[in-house]
Amino acid sequence: MLNRRGMLAALVAAAFGSKVAVLPAAEVAPGSQRRLPWRNWSGSQQCLPAARVAPASVAELQELLAGGSGVVRAVGAGHSFTPLVPTDGTILSLARLSGMVSHDPVTLQATLWAGSRLGDIGAPLEQAGQALVNMPDIDEQTIAGCLATATHGTGANIGCMSTFIEGLQLMDARGQLVDCDRSQNSDLFEAARVSLGALGIITQVRLQNVAPYRLRRETVWREFDEILAIADSEADRHRNFEFYYVPFSGMGFTDTHDITTEPVSTTEKLDGNEGVRDLQLARDWLERTPRLRQLVLGSYMKTLGDEVTVENSWKNYASERNVRFNEMEYHLPREHGLAALREVRTALETQHPEVFFPIEVRFVKADDIWLSPFYRRDCCSIAVHRFFEDDYRPYFSTIEPIFRKYHGRPHWGKLNTLQVADFRKLYPRWDDFAAVRAQMDPGGRFLNPYLAGLFGPGAKQ
């Protein structure tokens, strides 16, 4: 029997009149060296640091900071695409400081070690009678990494993950531990909720959680015009709503999550990673015949049935992303999102036949965090992707001006070309953040070249 993937391959092969292509193998990491090289998930950022350390206790961390010199950059899971981590100094991981510290069954708050990975905290939180309010579309990241870049899921009435923070503990450049929340060191708290890892090493985070809940996730394939017609109302109607548009197909799918008491269950699922490889295949064979590409992809996608998964919340947000890519995502004022998306689609389909990754569109509620891209505006977030082995720059440089025209703010962890002067215009509290930063790290120990360009001595002009 022909499965879904086989069906698309057969359609492409029939259209092209030949057999199926094979993906190139992933790049192999460089061989061993005395200094251990570092690279991020996509390979877009690399460096050869003098040292890589992973303290096993706060005392060890203190010794490292108080006793050492030179630049120190914290790393989480290395899932940011921007140059936040690379340094020729020290890369510091809190991988050994992970797990739950404590929880309060009355307030539903939990204190977690900052090095905890999202995927590792769902079960212990559930045992403690708690669950995260929302999650992004993977769960590999660390808590501290997510908060540093304002990582978000989707939900027009739900803020980014940094809005779940009730309190933080971090260590400054001199090795001093500082606690902050809304009433204690409140300026530091406002700055530290989205910190780019530029204020200090976050050791613990206290999160406001909710009682465990179950989600019904429903995926429905639809024509692009239909998606645009319902997007706004669906975003308001569902707890979580997002959609993807598949380039050169005229089709996409909507994804909704709603709280349910239905029993855990799942229908047959399309493997997202295989799906992306299929799109690459269609690009390889049909790049020069866009009409045929649309006919093949569109007809295939119209055969795809709805998918429904009912699962406990922490198991029902994330997907596995095995096909690596580079990504640019901008958070636009919500009212401009769909107009911008139309322009992105046109630019992509008229100028970039080489692109095959879907465009992802999400909704995020406004907040009041100084460096949050959602500062005082409800947002529609649009993300574009390029296969990790391909040069992302030509495509991203076509799309970025559209995002900027609509006053978008880039995701801190995703590729963009903005400079300090641009960020200052986008962030009314930029100088307040910079002042707190200077207090926490007067000597610039947490500034790598990228962050020095934003907050270093020469960054004022």
Ligand X SMILES: Cc1cc2nc3c(=O)[nH]c(=O)nc-3n(C[C@H](O)[C@H](O)[C@H](O)COP(=O)(O)OP(=O)(O)OC[C@H]3O[C@@H](n4cnc5c(N)ncnc54)[C@H](O)[C@@H]3O)c2cc1C
List of residues contacting ligand X (CB under 6 A): 41, 73-80, 84-85, 94, 114, 136-138, 141-142, 144-146, 148-149, 151-152, 196-197, 201-202, 321, 411, 413
Nearest to ligand X of 140, 278 (CB atom): 140
DSSP H/E element including 121: helix 118-127
Q: How far is the CB of 288 from ligand X (least distance, A)?
A: 30
Q: Please choose, from the candidates 402, 261, 452, 416, the residue with its C-alpha nearest in 3D space to the C-alpha of residue 329.
A: 416
Q: How far is the CB of 452 from ligand X (least distance, A)?
A: 13
Query: And the tokens for 91?
Result: 């890369």
Nearest to ligand X of 176, 267 (CB atom): 176
Nearest to ligand X of 195, 294 (CB atom): 195
Q: How far is the CB of 201 from ligand X (least distance, A)?
A: 5
Nearest to ligand X of 39, 321 (CB atom): 321
Query: And the tokens for 20?
Result: 């199926």
Q: Please choose, from the candidates 209, 244, 205, the residue with its C-alpha nearest in 3D space to the C-alpha of residue 228.
A: 244
Q: How far is the CB of 78 from ligand X (least distance, A)?
A: 5
Query: And the tokens for 343?
Result: 């322009």
Placement of tokens 């613990």 in the chain: 204
Q: How far is the CB of 138 from ligand X (least distance, A)?
A: 4
Q: How far is the CB of 35 from ligand X (least distance, A)?
A: 19
- Three-state SS string over the chain comes to CCCHHHHHHHHHHHHHCCCCCCCCCCCCCCCCCCCCCEECCCCCCEECCCEEECCCCHHHHHHHHHHCCCCEEEECCCCCCCCCCCCCCEEEECCCCCCEEEEECCCCEEEEECCCEHHHHHHHHHHCCCECCCCCCCCCCEHHHHHHCCCCCCECCCCCHHHHEEEEEEECCCCCEEEEECCCCHHHHHHHCCCCCCCCEEEEEEEECECCCEEEEEEEEEEHHHHHHHHHHHHHHCCEEEEEEECCCCEEEEEEEEEECCCCEECCCCCHHHHHHHHHHHHHHHCCCHHHHHHHHHHHHHCCCCEEEEEEHHHCCCCCCCCCEEEEEEEEEHHHHHHHHHHHHHHHHHHCCCCCCCEEEEEECCECCCCCCCECCCEEEEEEEEECCCCCHHHHHHHHHHHHHCCCEECCCCCCCCCHHHHHHHCCCHHHHHHHHHHHCCCCCCCCHHHHHHHCHHHHC
Q: How far is the CB of 276 from ligand X (least distance, A)?
A: 12
Nearest to ligand X of 234, 327 (CB atom): 327
CA–CA distance, 412 with 394 (Å, rounded to integer): 20
Q: How far is the CB of 41 from ligand X (least distance, A)?
A: 4
Nearest to ligand X of 135, 227 (CB atom): 135
Nearest to ligand X of 201, 286 (CB atom): 201
Render 241-270 in DSSP notation, one character per residue.
EEEEEETTTTEEEEEEEEEE-SPSEE----
Q: How far is the CB of 97 from ligand X (least distance, A)?
A: 8
Nearest to ligand X of 76, 337 (CB atom): 76
Nearest to ligand X of 82, 294 (CB atom): 82
Q: How far is the CB of 275 from ligand X (least distance, A)?
A: 15
Q: How far is the CB of 43 from ligand X (least distance, A)?
A: 11
Nearest to ligand X of 41, 423 (CB atom): 41
Nearest to ligand X of 194, 399 (CB atom): 194
